[in-house]
Amino acid sequence: MVHFFCAEKGHFGGFSLNEQLRLLRELQDVDLELKAIEADKERYPMEIKNLDEKLVSEKEMFKKREERIELLEKERRQKEGDLELEQERMKKAQSKLYDVKTNKEYQALLVEIETLKEINSQREIEILEIMDEIDELKRKYGRMQKELQEMEERIGAEKKQLEESLGKVDGALASKKRKRTMVTKKLSTELIALYQTLKEKRRTAVVPARFGACQGCNMKIPPQMFNEVQKSEAIIVCPSCNRILYWEDKIDYR
Ligand SMILES: [Zn+2]
């Protein structure tokens, strides 16, 4: 139990101060762990959602490629159909050449045949271009299919891990909360109150004093006070930021 708080010196007094300081640090550690677990609890579902969205967008891109190939195949079939009809027309025109009666008719047929020839060779070029594009897309498509499959497996594994971690979060939270209750039971109410106030105001409540300075605000501590921190016989707060000070060596080699 802490019996008094000496405001002008910034000391708490009481028995087993060393133990109280140790418990305060433990409380702070537990609180930091709790905060981290709570952050994980919020983060995991968001990460899972992001992974799902990533996969959906990849699949959509893949589908667009597929649709592009389908469209080109359709275009190719269309053009091949046209080419066939025009070749048919050309054959008819060529066979008519032997039946024409007048030179005028003959010349007109020759012009028609020539025009059809041009159209057909243009059509053939177009078909070849489409086929090239299809080949190129199919090559990329095969690669994408493999990449997509790999990505699906990777995302699946990541998701499984996240879901497993998420499943453990509530248990971890409950266990840390139990530990917190156990620690606070052993701490004096005055110290808990001071700790809470400092935590809300300064985020960290208990900080080491190192090289004669408070490691919370980096301000120098008067030498006399630093000696007292080293003795660990009283709760001493930093004169600048009011954080509770501890001497690391003393704590670490307890
Ligand atoms: Zn300070």
The alpha carbon of 47 and the centre of ligand 1 are apart by a number of angstroms equal to 37
Does residue 231 lie within any of the structural domains?
Answer: yes
Q: What is the DSSP letter of 245?
A: E
Cα 220 to Cα 231: distance, rounded to the nearest angstrom: 18
Which pLDDT value is given to residue 14?
45
Structure tokens that stand for 112 in this block: 């028609």
Other CB atoms closer than 10 Å to residue 225's CB: what's the count?
21
Distance 49 CA to ligand 1 centre (A): 42
Please state whether the predicted TM-score (pTM) of the whole model is above 0.85. no
* pLDDT band at residue 16 under the 50/70/90 scheme: confident
**8-30 burial string, b = 16+ CB within 10 Å, else e?**
eebbbebeebeebbbbbbbbbeb
pLDDT at 249: 65
Domain range enclosing 239: 2-39+184-252
Tell me what the mean pLDDT of segment 200-210 comes to. 94
**Ligand 1 centroid distance, CA of 206 (Å):** 10
Instruction: Indicate which CATH number applies to the domain containing 81.
Output: 1.10.287.1490
Q: Same domain, yes or no, for 51 and 164?
A: yes
Percent of the chain residues past pLDDT 70, beyond the cut: 92
Residue 226 lies in a domain: yes
148, 71: one domain: yes
Domain identity same for 51 and 162: yes
CA of 218 to the centre of ligand 1 (A): 6
